């Protein structure tokens, strides 16, 4: 496997890998290797460079963590370079509609730009048919195709809203089919932030899977 040595935040990812029994590789350019497990999501690009690639199993879930860099185009046509710390979790359930929970507390609005390319739109949270806490509404926007709104109502429980508001208010979240992605915008990344991102991603994966199981048993 022709991974290139990482130059950024290596000690943080290395410590996390050691703590959770994960495997740390380093920097990978997907076009140059054959056995890379792809991390896709809304930030995937032919120009991407994936750094600090780390993979393994946590609490029964397959996870990949990495830092991704590439240019994005803003609504005003400016081209800017962005870096995301991404945690990808393989869900047990499949065929979940594609939607994004975008943080309003980060310095950039890449989620809205990327969502527009995916033909998803910010919705009025009242349309979710759930009681939406003021704190959640203040911190997050939800992007989805209108025909899928009813299918994702079950995921916005009061418990999930509180957990995200408390722990991931500056993080974007994407769910598509059987994959969960969380996007941290901090650079450099601190071990406490990376650890929290992983732990809450696993919690959210369990919540999504259990919500579907409960719905199927009704």
Model confidence band, residue 218 (pLDDT cutoffs 50, 70, 90): very low
| Mean pLDDT of the region 167-179 | 93
pLDDT surpassing 60 at residue 64: yes
Q: Is 108 a residue whose pLDDT tops 50?
A: yes
CB 112 within 8 A of CB 102: yes
Give the integer Cα–Cα distance in Å for 215 and 213: 5
Query: pLDDT tens-digit profile of 31-42?
Result: 665 556 778 888
Whether 1 shows a pLDDT value over 70: the answer reads no
pLDDT category at 160 given cuts 50, 70, 90 is: very high
Residue 80: predicted pLDDT: 79
**pLDDT score recorded for residue 4:** 58
The domain segmentation of the chain, as residue ranges, is 10-217
pLDDT grade, residue 109 (50/70/90)?
A: low
Give me the chain's average pLDDT, please.
Answer: 86
Position with higher pLDDT, 197 vs 68 = 197
What the block records as the tokens of 192 is 């406490």
Burial label for 101, CB within 10 Å (0-12, 13-18, 19+), is: buried
The alpha carbon of residue 8 and the mean position of all alpha carbons in its chain are separated, in whole angstroms, by 20
* Residue 106 reports pLDDT greater than 90: no
pLDDT digits (tens, 9 = 90+) for 194-214: 999 999 999 999 999 999 865
Confidence bin at 46 (pLDDT 50/70/90): confident
Q: Is 17 helix (H, G, I), strand (E, B) or coil?
A: helix
Is residue 151 scored above 70 in pLDDT? yes
d(CA 102, CA 105): 9
* Angstrom distances, CA of residue 187 to CA of 36, 68, 184: 24, 12, 9
Q: What is the pLDDT of residues 8-29, one digit of tens each?
A: 688 999 999 999 999 998 877 6
Query: Residues 165-182: what's their mean pLDDT?
Result: 94
115 or 132: which leads in pLDDT: 132
Contacts of 199 (CB under 8 A, 6+ apart): none
Q: What is the mean pLDDT of residues 153-162?
A: 94
């Amino acid at each position: 496997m022709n991974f290139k040595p990482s130059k950024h935040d290596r000690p943080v990812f290395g410590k996390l890998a050691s703590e959770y029994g994960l495997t740390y590789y380093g920097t990978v350019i997907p076009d140059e290797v054959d056995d890379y497990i792809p991390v896709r999501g809304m930030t995937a690009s032919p120009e991407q460079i994936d750094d600090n690639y780390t993979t393994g199993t946590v609490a029964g879930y397959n996870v990949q963590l990495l830092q991704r860099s590439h240019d994005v185009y803003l609504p005003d046509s400016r081209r800017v370079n962005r870096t995301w710390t991404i945690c990808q979790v393989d869900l047990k359930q499949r065929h979940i509609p594609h939607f994004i929970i975008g943080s309003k507390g980060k310095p950039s609005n890449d989620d809205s730009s990327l969502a527009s390319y995916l033909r998803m739109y910010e919705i009025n949270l009242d349309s979710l048919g759930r009681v939406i806490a003021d704190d959640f509404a203040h911190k997050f926007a939800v992007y989805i195709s209108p025909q899928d709104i009813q299918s994702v109502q079950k995921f916005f429980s009061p418990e999930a809203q509180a957990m995200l508001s408390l722990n991931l208010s500056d993080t974007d979240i994407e769910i598509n089919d059987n994959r969960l992605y969380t996007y941290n915008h901090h650079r450099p990344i601190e071990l406490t932030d990376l650890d929290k991102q992983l732990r809450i991603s696993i919690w959210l994966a369990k919540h999504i899977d259990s919500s579907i199981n409960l719905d199927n048993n009704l």
